[in-house]
Structure 1
Amino acid sequence: MKPTLMLVGGARPLLAFSVDLTEAVLAQAAARGVRTLVTSTASDLAAMPSIVASADEAAAVGFTEPGETAEWARRRVAAGEHIVAVLAQLEMAQVAAAETAEAVGAPGNAPEVIRRIRTKDACRAALAAAGFAQPAVRLCASAADAAGFLRETAGPWIVKPRDAMGSTGVSQISSADDLPAALALLPDAGTFLVEEFVSGPEFSVEGIFQRGRPRILAVTAKETVPPPFFVETAHTLPADLPEPRRREIDETVSAALLALGLRSGAFHAEIWLTPTGVVLGEVHSRFGGDWIHKMLEYAIPGIELFGLIIDDLLGLPQTPGPLEPTRGAAVRYLTPPPGQVVTIEGWDEVLAHPAVLHAELSAGPGTDIPPLHRSGDRVGLIVVGARTSTLARELAEELASSVRFVTTSDEAMVKGSAGA
């Protein structure tokens, strides 16, 4: 019987980058003679037919309840299934994947390590205890808790959910007067975090583990909307950094990952560069979203991101030679002002551009464009590749600027001018 790679959670069907990542996992496993088994909810499996068709087997198994996937996999192994590797590319499936790997004796990160990094305040506490610079943070159950933290620390501050992603519910405040509006943005009425705001340019660090050691593939420069929200609008890879700063990032992030107990799979670590050094943000045991994987694949020609991980999990020979960017790539998100779309101009020209690696629109005539408060409010994106990261960033910005969203408010302004 072929060895089996179990992919927990599959993909997020409505996110093209998630489906693309998952298809890459399955293809690179198949190229190594590994059988693939995808587990996810029945509704998600039904919504991702390309994933089901690409896998050797798909099974409806939930991954949000503790131990649910692990127990199912344990029964499969007892019945003769040879599960040798367990992966997840979804954030919400990371704990289930770690529990499952432990249950079937496959290599992977310990479940308690994944729980720690997924609990934002616990991850901050662990990094601070290990000697890494961290903003002060407090887990709050009420506005009174948050107000107490504000009195004890210097602002501004960030209010955010304890367990969410995509900038959902994240906002900046400068006084206790801002708390009610910030709390109203949170996705639920449970506990939440308030932490000190860190000022400085933002980056993310992308990489994999090989033989238990982190191998950084690239540092990505990040652009966000101005406060009070922090929605990511662009990424450039590799970041244009002087060698001393790049070395500082590599050393700090590598040491932090090991201090947290991570030893396997992919990682995506968010950081700030401040005058006093690197400050770590959130740490993830997966590749970054926002098509960063596509940018890595272009910038490092021939790389197989998941193939490298599978080789490591199976103890196969490591890919020889350097794994560093030799080209540049960038993604720019389309974030037009709020309004109802009448028409979109310039999109066909974007699709025809030879440097475009991927482009997508989630808006069309009749779409109501909301204010930009979270990642889901973005309405399109353009990923490009170029000879250098600077050229890629400039091209992505140019192409994004060439797309015009005509809205009902624009038409009203034209009519008003014509009638004046």
Structure 2
Amino acid sequence: MTQQEKAPEVLFVGGAGRAPLSIDVVATAIAQARSRGMVTRLMSHAADIPHTRRAVELADAVDAIDFTDADAAVAWSAELAGGDPRPRVVFTGREPALGPAARMAEALGVAGNPPWSVDTVRNKDACREFLAGAGFRQPAVRLCRDRAEAERAMGETRGPWVVKPRVGGGSLGVSKVSDPAGLPAALDLLPDEGPFLVEEFVEGEEFSVEGLFLGGTPHVLAVTAKRKLPPPYFVEVGHSLPAPLPEPVTREVTETVAKALTALGLRFGLFHVELWLTADGIVLGEVHSRLAGGYIHRMLAHAVPGLEMFGAVFDDALGSPPAAADLSCTRAGASRFFTPPAGRLVRVEGWEEAAAHPAVVAAELRVAPGDVIPSYRHSEERVGALAVGADTVEEAEELVGRLVESVRFVVEPADGTAP
């Protein structure tokens, strides 16, 4: 038996999505696994494989599996393990794969989050109810199945409100409603006809907390400040870490998040928790048992010297100490997404120069001349981003702002849009 045939294997459930960010996450994770001598295997939808070649070509094996079918994924992994009993790590960074990955890990008897914990945090109303019952501040929320139930929920609660899908991410289908008359338009934005939520709009500055579990205990890497477009939509267009907060506030935030994660039973992998700082204290937002988007993984790699975030998860799953014992955030990072005017793109000026800046840790441009740029309603409509590393968060914010402003999108009217 060769050394590779004995080596532990990482199962990347869901493989990579088609977005450049998702491909970069999986490629980075594969590189960190291979540097540890691990074998890597992607489980991906057959239709995604041709569109994710950068990640696919790095993996040792690729299997076309419907990973959203938990029963089929568990059966496939059991058959794999039965014929090849090497140690395994089950990992995913994709929202639709979180539930199946938890069930696979449980069936294989390897490190993972309890399926009930993952199901709870993925169903946003269930998570709200659980955390409120555990003593954490939460926005009031109602589960609705049609317009009549939503109107009743608005009549029984104080506005403004947020209408959102019960499950999902990337602000898809999420909108603010200031008056009941705006409800029909908000319902039209929902991605499907399933149950949805009407939630209290929280007044306060929004942050997120990024971290990982080691030995079942949550370790916070950074608190992240957010920039968003004005309502009615909630598209994030910038991140900065570590957030410039007073030390006592940062400590309270990290302690609150750690207690919430522990109460929810989460114990493995990466986490991304959203929250608001309000006049009445911390109000927890959505909890995710996965990493954040927005190239935060690239910024963390700069801000926490020596950190290999994915590698640390793999080490922990196999009972090894993390490669970087000190997980302190001693530097900083910032990202900005481009917010060009809507219209048909004629050309982009200054992109090559901005992307080539030595402080840039991630650069993405998703449009080319001839493409139509929409007015943003959710994160998947963003056309590109730059992320930088620096010694301080103030330096990072100034630099990334300057670089983004140096890139000019020249557009012309298209299909009723105006430049």
The TM-score by the shorter chain falls in which range?
A: over 0.9
1:315 aligns with 2:319: yes
Residue 282 (structure 2) aligned to one of 275, 278, 283: 278
In the alignment, which residue of structure 2 is the partner of 1:88?
92
In the alignment, which residue of structure 2 is the partner of 1:414?
none
In the alignment, which residue of structure 1 is the partner of 2:17?
12
Matches of 1:113 and 1:183, distance apart in 2? 29
In the alignment, which residue of structure 2 is the partner of 1:367?
371
In the alignment, which residue of structure 2 is the partner of 1:52?
56
In the alignment, which residue of structure 2 is the partner of 1:413?
none
Q: What is the CA RMSD across the aligned residues, in angstroms?
A: 1.4
In the alignment, which residue of structure 2 is the partner of 1:381?
385
1:3 aligns with 2:8: yes
Matches of 1:83 and 1:185, distance apart in 2? 44
In the alignment, which residue of structure 1 is the partner of 2:304?
300
Change (3 A) 1:339 1:144: same
Post-superposition offset of 1:88: 0.6
Residue 235 of structure 1 aligns to a residue in which SS?
A: strand
Matches of 2:403 and 2:32, distance apart in 1? 32
123-132 or 395-404, larger mean C-alpha shift? 395-404
50-59 or 332-341, larger mean C-alpha shift? 50-59
Residue 35 (structure 2) aligned to one of 14, 17, 31: 31
Residue 362 (structure 2) aligned to one of 358, 363, 366: 358
Counting aligned pairs with the same residue, the percent is: 50
For residues 139-150 of structure 1, the aligned pairs below 5 Å read 139-150=143-154
Matches of 1:150 and 1:53, distance apart in 2? 51
Matches of 1:251 and 1:45, distance apart in 2? 40
In the alignment, which residue of structure 2 is the partner of 1:403?
407
Q: Give the conservation status (yes or no) of the 8 Å contact 2:308–2:324.
A: no
Post-superposition offset of 1:68: 1.5
Matches of 1:400 and 1:149, distance apart in 2? 42
Post-superposition offset of 1:320: 5.7
Residue 104 (structure 2) aligned to one of 100, 112, 119: 100
Q: Give the conservation status (yes or no) of the 8 Å contact 1:340–1:407.
A: yes
1:167 aligns with 2:203: no
Residue 67 of structure 1 aligns to a residue in which SS?
A: helix
In the alignment, which residue of structure 1 is the partner of 2:83?
79
In the alignment, which residue of structure 2 is the partner of 1:230?
234
Q: TM-score, normalised by structure 1?
A: 0.94
Residue 294 of structure 1 aligns to a residue in which SS?
A: helix
For residues 321-336 of structure 1, the aligned pairs below 5 Å read 321-336=325-340
Post-superposition offset of 1:409: 4.6
Residue 66 (structure 1) aligned to one of 62, 65, 70: 70
Q: Give the conservation status (yes or no) of the 8 Å contact 1:6–1:83.
A: no
Q: TM-score, normalised by structure 2?
A: 0.95
Equivalent AA in structure 2 for residue 144 of structure 1: A
In the alignment, which residue of structure 2 is the partner of 1:109?
113
- Listed one character per residue, the Cα deviations across residues 130-171 of structure 1 (whole Å, up to 9, x for unaligned) are 010001101101111011111111110000111122111111
In the alignment, which residue of structure 2 is the partner of 1:127?
131
Residue 70 of structure 2 aligns to a residue in which SS?
A: coil
Residue 220 (structure 2) aligned to one of 216, 235, 250: 216
Q: Give the conservation status (yes or no) of the 8 Å contact 1:334–1:380.
A: yes
Equivalent AA in structure 1 for residue 95 of structure 2: E
Residue 389 of structure 2 aligns to a residue in which SS?
A: strand
- Count residues with an aligned counterpart: 409
Show structure 1 runs of 5+ residues with no match.
Answer: 411-420
Change (3 A) 1:42 1:176: same
Equivalent AA in structure 1 for residue 12 of structure 2: L
Post-superposition offset of 1:83: 4.2
Residue 99 of structure 2 aligns to a residue in which SS?
A: helix
In the alignment, which residue of structure 2 is the partner of 1:415?
none
In the alignment, which residue of structure 2 is the partner of 1:343?
347
Q: Give the conservation status (yes or no) of the 8 Å contact 1:6–1:38.
A: yes
Matches of 1:36 and 1:223, distance apart in 2? 36
Matches of 2:20 and 2:141, distance apart in 1? 34
- Listed one character per residue, the Cα deviations across residues 8-41 of structure 1 (whole Å, up to 9, x for unaligned) are 111112x222112112222222222222221111
Q: Give the conservation status (yes or no) of the 8 Å contact 2:308–2:323.
A: no
Post-superposition offset of 1:50: 2.7
Matches of 1:409 and 1:75, distance apart in 2? 55
Change (3 A) 1:394 1:36: same
Q: Give the conservation status (yes or no) of the 8 Å contact 1:355–1:384.
A: yes
Q: Give the conservation status (yes or no) of the 8 Å contact 1:83–1:104.
A: no
Residue 43 of structure 1 aligns to a residue in which SS?
A: coil
Post-superposition offset of 1:319: 4.1
Change (3 A) 1:320 1:386: closer
